[in-house]
Structure 1
Amino acid sequence: MKIATLIHLYQPYNQQEDVLSRIINESYRPLMLGLKENPKVKLTVNITGTLTELLVKKGFTDVVTDLHLLASRKQVELTGSAMYHTILPLLPKYEINRQITINNTINKRYLGEVFSPSGFFSPELAINALVLREAVSQGFVWIAAPELSYGATLPSTTVLHKDEKTGLFVFFRNKRVSSLILSAAVRDAQQLWQETNDIHKSNYWFVVMDAETFGHHRIGHEKLLFEILTSPNFEPITISELLKEMTATAKVENVILRPCTWTNQEQDFWVSSNKTYILWKDPTNPIHKFQWQLANLAMKSVNAPEYKNPSKQTYSWRKARKQLDIALASDQFWWASAKPWWSLEMIESGAYALKQVLVTLDASVAAA
């Protein structure tokens, strides 16, 4: 069975150093070591630019160096993403484009020539038509998508899926297999094979998981991942390799994707489209309402028409622009969802970050 595995690495720009160190030692370094020790194992890797930069600034350059090495050995395929892990479908076009552009710039700076992604990973696998268009405009060829974005039925793995409007190739995450692995519902490679007996005729499995699951959230769980990827039942492959193989042989099916995230369930589409991004923008959540009022005010203020004039782009405005990029990160909205987790500290921190955008911008106006 061909198995294309995508792991997603992300930590907030202001992650506490002790927490970051634990994640690196428990997860990132064991994952890099496992790859170096098993040269036949291949992964598709998304690392946000904010984490790449954080690793370098905090002195954990070995992780970045290892990623460069593994990418140069063709063991790792790197993808594009949003710099500060924003929920892209909830942002206007300009902010989506900016997050992708900055992410490309930062990862290129630190990873060099091996960072030349053809694939795109939207944080939380959150997609809609605008995200697809912006991904194509940035030169990406394929995108990872939630299984449910295909529709109520499961997508076939024997055909290539292509977005009807943009021409972007779409690879759907196998939610069942991903969940079996990340949840530790299976304890070894043989059990995974037995639990999936009914889908052994699939052409491939595409599993997508947070990297921190392996070793940090679940201590020692990276051992299961490498046991699976070195099992004779599985053939590790990157998505671009899979795309190249299938382009030569498979039929193409044009698709129109539903707006979706990897957290959605089918019943979310039965009730209301407002439930699609409910963990970050719940119309019934009063805190989300206030958060987005403040976020929209900050975006409107920074992107006011007068700032299109370069002479108006003062030091304070440029500082506010940078602050806004960071403040739009998904964390504060997710921690306000209370579905089921909640953090007053993260909510306050997010509100303060957005407030500082306006304070800085006010200084820019005063100086003008």
Structure 2
Amino acid sequence: MTTASKRPFILLAALLIAASPALAQSGAQAEMQRHAQAVNNYEGWRRNQASGAYVDQAEAAAAAQIAANFRAAEKEKIRKDAVRDWWGVVVVSTDDGAWNVELNGHDQADATLAAMKKCKGVCSPVLSFANSCLAPAYSTQGGLYWSPGETRELASAAATQACSAAGGTGCQSPPKEAICSGWKYAYRAVDRFLHRADLTARGDVAPAKLIEFPGAKEYIAKPPARRGTSTAKKAINADAPTDPMRPYAAVFAEQRAEGMTRMAQPWTAIAAGSGPKAYAIHWGLNQQDASDTALSKCGGGDCKVLVAVPHGECAVAIRVNLPNDRVASFGGRGATLDAAEEAALTDCIGSGAKACPIVFNECMK
């Protein structure tokens, strides 16, 4: 090979020798870059893991706080519910004897309005109760008796006993008709158990209450045929047109009070006999009911009804002592107290009595 022909090979070798260090350096740099990227990737993974753990911990803490707030709110609600009265109201229809009930009311008046609205025909409240159970008992004669109790079973037993004590026969209290109104009956047993000791220790538990509507207890204890006929305090014209311009609040208030206008008009009767203690007054759900019950309470064989007046009128009774421990009685009725007194005094003076002492004078309004 000539010198001229060898020259290209010499140049190629020189180039390869010169490029070798550069290629080696480039490979080392690439390796270092790969290593650095791997380190960065690892650090990024660690940061992501830590970030994920932080997020999990933050979510767990938030959930725990929400649960704590919920428990605190629930405890506060139970405390408020335990200390307030949960009102129940029983009303009876004087038309057919059916009874209606409203339970767990925040307000006694509102519960009465709701119960009266449910009742059909002419109706009357029987009783209001709170924070206890209540049960009815029926006698074979047709009498109805209500009694309270801490449990449905105790209320039923008390109602049956009251029925028997009043002279009822075959007294029975259907278990399914017992009712309860109160926080410890509305909440789950576990909630009551968890908070009862604390609430009781602090005195934050409302006691049982029972308010009987005047005259209703005696009324429902009678057989339906002996209860008399009641009339509503105010007649309702169901066909009367409704004024479309009246405010909704006024219409709503009237609808809520509609049941109260159908409340039985009460009567007051005074019965008296010739004995010193033969005297009784009764407030009933109609004239017959008031008069019959007053006579039954009078306590004398010769008792008679002196006067009976509906709600809105006035009554007066005079009792005059006679020889031999006897008493003469006179009664008067009128739209005003003066008119009622004049009627009673006229009868008394006409009998020849020298003095006419008034023992009762009141307007039933």
- The normalised TM-score by structure 1 is 0.23
Tell me which protein shows more helix as a share of its residues.
1
Q: Higher relative contact order by CA 8 Å / sep ≥ 6: 1 or 2?
A: 1
- Look at both structures and tell me which one has the larger radius of gyration over its CA atoms: 2
- The normalised TM-score by structure 2 is 0.24
Tell me which protein shows more strand as a share of its residues.
2
